Structure 1
Amino acid sequence: PLPHTRPPSGGGPAPACPPPARLPDYGLLCPLHAAAGCTLPSAEDMAALQAAFCAAGPGGPPPDTDTVHALTGLLAAHLRAGEQAVRAGAAETVEHVLRAVLGRLAAGPAARGRPLARLAAEYAHAAGVLRMQQGRRATAMACFDRALTWSELADDPATQVAALSDMSTLARLDGDADSALGYARAIGRAAPDRHWAGAMGRIGRARAHALAGDVRGTVRHIARARLHLDHIGEPDEADAAWLSIASMRLRVEAGAAAALRDVAAAVGDPRPARHAADAAATALALLGPDQLPSSRLLFTVRLADCHLCAGDRDAALALLSPALLSPDRDGVALPALVRHELRGLHSRTALFPARARHHGQPTAVRQPAFGAVEQ
């Protein structure tokens, strides 16, 4: 069973972002055409096709090509909108469509099940991502667990790896290093001989070791993740629409920054934090100024935290203040992962004394400033 949610009225809100004109989009492949790509119906037709699919119930006919395109395109739009802001009703809408997909999957012939199984996997993973952004960890974990089952059924390694990576993240948020390590290790079994999956698995393992304060294990797995990047090629690129050397490097460097920051905080040593700041700055530089605003904010907060753990409070505040107090953020809820990073940063203000100097004098920054920014 999926977590219970109240069905959204009128089929739920439309995506806050316009749906794409083609697939792949936002990391989603068409369940029918995969990486070859395809053209989608108009936004109005996609909305009508999705509404008709959900209204037909389990006894409806197998979805035609346009309906599969509509369900995938609208899911990509919901995910893109979720990256820009935490929006009410988006997760409920995705879960509503997921239930319709599951009803049709159970009632239809097995020979036609793979596209629906892939849709179920992608919708379940998306629901988990949206719930995680809201801070609803238990619901997110249940969705990721279902995504793992359906992606295995659909032979979809990209969604398997994404679900396991997010499950490892949820375990870390709960402070459970052993479970986080277990989920990260499973990534290699889900997509063996794929260097992109190997890189993500190693970064997950590095973050789990960092949570446990294992400096040597953290550094070893970061090095192996970076080594995987040198071997990514065409077999890897066929697995995931979002995959490129730049996108994988962004993921690896962002994860390396977090792992080195975490281990610096765990052992009370500012030296790993200096390397963490370099990795965080690299990840930020790989994002265009208008790309992935929530990820940019997350990486900015992470870079500030790295500077704090390295003893440079001035640099940390210089990054935080414009990022969090900008007019663009008025009335926009912070994603749960950003709030988690801020709580960690705030808790570390007493652990690392200020070491930055200006004109030969130690810098003095009052600790309440960090609390005010967080709130």
Structure 2
Amino acid sequence: MTGASARAGGAAWGEFGRRLRSRRRAAGLTQLQLGLLVGYHHSVISKLEAGLREPPLGLVRRLDSVLETGGELAAVLAEPRDVPRGPVHFLADPVLFAPLPGADGVDGFGAPDPLLWPARLPAEGLACPLHGTEGCAVPDRAELSELLGGPSAVTADSLSRGTAGAEPDLLHGLTALLACLIREGFRQPPDDHRVAVVDGLLRALVRWAEAVNATGRLPYGQLRLAAQYAQVAGRLRMDRGQSAVAMARFGHGLHCADAVRDAPARATLLSDMCTLVQLDGDVGSMLTYAAGVGAVDTGRRWMAALSGLYQARGYALAGDTAECRRHIALARRKFARLDRRDLLEAPWMAGAEGEMRMDSAIGGALRDLAVATGDRSAARRAVTATARSCAGVPPQMRTTRLLLTLRLADSWACAGDPAAAAALACEVLGDAVSSREFMIGAELRGLHGRLTGQWHDIPEVRAYRERFRSAGGQVAPTFGHLPDFACIGRWSWGR
């Protein structure tokens, strides 16, 4: 674009923005309300009114219609001016649209259970990628399939073809599909098909965002939704012990979130990255990421609470009692002061379920502190917090209940009561030994190593060992302990 054409285009955008602001105010609408009516985020309306971007033609027509301007806004842009040649790239991050491994799409997403399909967003902590937590109706499964031209092969091309006048509906439907996949995970651990579906849809979303970007339009909704798919994809890989692939997915989600300044997504992705670096025994990096969660936005108390919980866990692993306790206290204070915005953005921290997650995370930190320092008073406090958390687990969170039962047994072992630990562990040994969940295996290995190493001669532990062998368990080295992301974070697979 030449300097003259840029000035002409900028002048037209500025005049368009002034007319738009005047018409919006005359209609008595806020930027948020107008954005909802035309299917765009309010930040787009703000940029248009400020003259900071070229108005897309389709949006201009919708604005004229909604504001009943008689075509005034379109007329402003129809004035003669130089037209830029070639696409205008709003986003030029080479990592953002880098090809992800695998095919660009998925061969069908199956037939989600209609009873699990959400009617509105947010659902399972997933906000609408266009309208945030305002509350959006979603198309049903059949309508989503029709928008895509059928679910047999969802690709970037099918996404683009399905958006002729229906981009908000498609983004709403794909968010609902992700929520449905999460809910299916509550019933049973994720299988290969669910992993493939989430990965494939993530790749298709990234390609779709790239195509939208190439037209000169910011792919706001596509990138926000891609960040959500990337986080779920990473958690699925993390559950399977595939740390490197999980980190790649989280990293890509972070790029998407940063490109559209999605603070909640950035905070939760960083919290998952805390988990992964701990798997590698990198406590220093874990503490860095944990501090980063709180630094995303110091005004959001839920982020400060989450940051405190992860830092408490990191300092516990490092054996720093004072810092561990300080961050537990910080997390509790912030949790007690969560406001409406906090609970809209992090609904999994609300009410009894939020209390359960807090107690779980605190119990995990205190147990790890007892392991690192030999402090039995910390272990007894871990017993109290974990028992309280276990009592608050909803019935559908089966994996979380199993994990917490193992942790409670381990806390008893750390507190010097191997008989109580062995008795509690025996109640769930069959399920724990047969579980394919990476976290369950890690908890079981830690408990098994402690019981059979220090107290192998007492009768209760001998009975535990017999039960362990009869369940098909194999003696394995202690693997350490994982942060309880199933109980802290936004989602819990197979719980």
Q: Same fold (TM over 0.5)?
A: yes
Q: Structure 1 residue 131: deviation in Å?
A: 0.8
Q: Find the partner of 2:201 among 81, 97, 118.
A: 97
1:77 corresponds in structure 2 to 180
1:56 corresponds in structure 2 to 157
2:437 corresponds in structure 1 to 335
**Which whole-Å deviations, capped at 9, do the CAs of 1:40-94 have from their partners, x for residues lacking one?**
2222333454537526258646462221122101111112223431312212211
1:5 corresponds in structure 2 to 102
User: Is this contact kept in 1: 2:349–2:355, CA < 8 A?
Assistant: no
Counterpart CA distance in 2 for 1:302 and 1:205 is 19
Q: Which moved more, 1:177-186 or 1:259-268?
A: 259-268
Q: Structure 1 residue 312: deviation in Å?
A: 2.3
Give the secondary structure class of the aligned counterpart of 1:305: helix
Counterpart CA distance in 2 for 1:308 and 1:76 is 38
1:295 corresponds in structure 2 to 400
2:62 corresponds in structure 1 to none
**Which whole-Å deviations, capped at 9, do the CAs of 1:266-322 have from their partners, x for residues lacking one?**
12232211101111112222322x232222222222112111211223332333333
Q: Find the partner of 2:244 among 134, 138, 141.
A: 138
Give the secondary structure class of the aligned counterpart of 2:299: coil
Q: Find the partner of 2:295 among 181, 184, 189.
A: 189
2:137 corresponds in structure 1 to 39
Q: Find the partner of 1:310 among 400, 406, 415.
A: 415
1:365 and 2:461 correspond: yes
User: Is this contact kept in 2: 1:7–1:92, CA < 8 A?
Assistant: no
2:220 corresponds in structure 1 to 114
Q: Which moved more, 1:336-345 or 1:102-111?
A: 102-111
User: Is this contact kept in 1: 2:106–2:196, CA < 8 A?
Assistant: no
Q: Which moved more, 1:303-312 or 1:365-374?
A: 365-374
Counterpart CA distance in 1 for 2:173 and 2:386 is 37
Alignment of 1:129-278 (within 5 A): 129-278=235-384
The amino acid across from 2:255 in the alignment is: T
2:94 corresponds in structure 1 to none
Q: Structure 1 pair 214/186, CA: closer, same or farther in 2 (3 Å)?
A: same
User: Is this contact kept in 2: 1:206–1:259, CA < 8 A?
Assistant: yes
Q: Structure 1 pair 323/6, CA: closer, same or farther in 2 (3 Å)?
A: farther
1:24 and 2:93 correspond: no
Counterpart CA distance in 2 for 1:4 and 1:117 is 18
User: Is this contact kept in 2: 1:86–1:334, CA < 8 A?
Assistant: no
TM-score by length of 1: 0.87
**Which whole-Å deviations, capped at 9, do the CAs of 1:129-172 have from their partners, x for residues lacking one?**
11111111111111111111211223322221111111111111
Once superposed, which parts of structure 1, at least 4 consecutive aligned residues long, lie more than 6 Å away? none
User: Is this contact kept in 2: 1:147–1:163, CA < 8 A?
Assistant: yes
Q: Which moved more, 1:15-24 or 1:301-310?
A: 15-24
The amino acid across from 2:191 in the alignment is: R
**Which whole-Å deviations, capped at 9, do the CAs of 1:98-150 have from their partners, x for residues lacking one?**
11111111121454421111101001001001111111111111111111121
> Any stretches of 5+ residues in structure 1 without a counterpart?
355-361
Query: Aligned Cα RMSD in Å?
Result: 2.8
Counterpart CA distance in 2 for 1:105 and 1:39 is 23
User: Is this contact kept in 2: 1:25–1:76, CA < 8 A?
Assistant: yes
The amino acid across from 1:269 in the alignment is: D
Give the secondary structure class of the aligned counterpart of 2:107: helix
Q: Structure 1 residue 14: deviation in Å?
A: 4.6
The amino acid across from 1:254 in the alignment is: S
The amino acid across from 1:322 in the alignment is: E
User: Is this contact kept in 1: 2:328–2:362, CA < 8 A?
Assistant: yes
Counterpart CA distance in 2 for 1:128 and 1:78 is 14
Q: Structure 1 pair 49/273, CA: closer, same or farther in 2 (3 Å)?
A: farther
Q: Structure 1 residue 333: deviation in Å?
A: 4.0
**Which whole-Å deviations, capped at 9, do the CAs of 1:226-247 have from their partners, x for residues lacking one?**
1111211123224234341434
User: Is this contact kept in 2: 1:2–1:142, CA < 8 A?
Assistant: no
TM-score by length of 2: 0.67
User: Is this contact kept in 1: 2:125–2:345, CA < 8 A?
Assistant: no
Give the secondary structure class of the aligned counterpart of 1:175: coil
**Which whole-Å deviations, capped at 9, do the CAs of 1:172-196 have from their partners, x for residues lacking one?**
1221111111110100111222111
Q: Which moved more, 1:315-324 or 1:304-313?
A: 315-324
